[in-house]
Amino acid sequence: MRQPCWLCGHDIPASLDARHPLSFTLDHVVPLSRGGRLLDPVNARSAHRRCNSARGNRTSIKQPRASRRW
């Protein structure tokens, strides 16, 4: 079963150790510190550990920049 990261769109490998930066974490669309609900499945998304950490408790996500073709 493929699990894409909702922040970057890349697949999350299932075989990685939990401490690996590309391992699976559960991210909350509305962060808990901003009033998001812990047990609400609509508020939960799969994410890489590093993508989740980089987002912090912001409610918006930074869209990846498109490459420029010359």
Each residue's pLDDT tens digit in the chain (70 positions)? Answer: 678 999 999 999 999 999 999 999 999 999 999 999 998 999 999 999 999 999 999 987 765 555 555 4
**3 within domain boundaries:** yes
**1 within domain boundaries:** yes
* Closest residue by Cα to residue 5 from 53, 45, 62: 45
**Residue 55 burial by CB count (10 A; 0-12/13-18/19+): exposed, middle or buried?**
middle
Segments forming the whole domain that contains residue 7:
1-58
Q: Taking the CB of residue 23, how many other CB atoms lie within 10 A of it?
A: 17
Tell me, what's the pLDDT at 60?
A: 77
Structural domains of the chain, count: 1
**64 within domain boundaries:** no
**63 within domain boundaries:** no
Between the CA of residue 18 and those of 24, 25, 31, 56, 62, what are the distances in Å?
Answer: 7, 8, 21, 18, 24
**70 within domain boundaries:** no
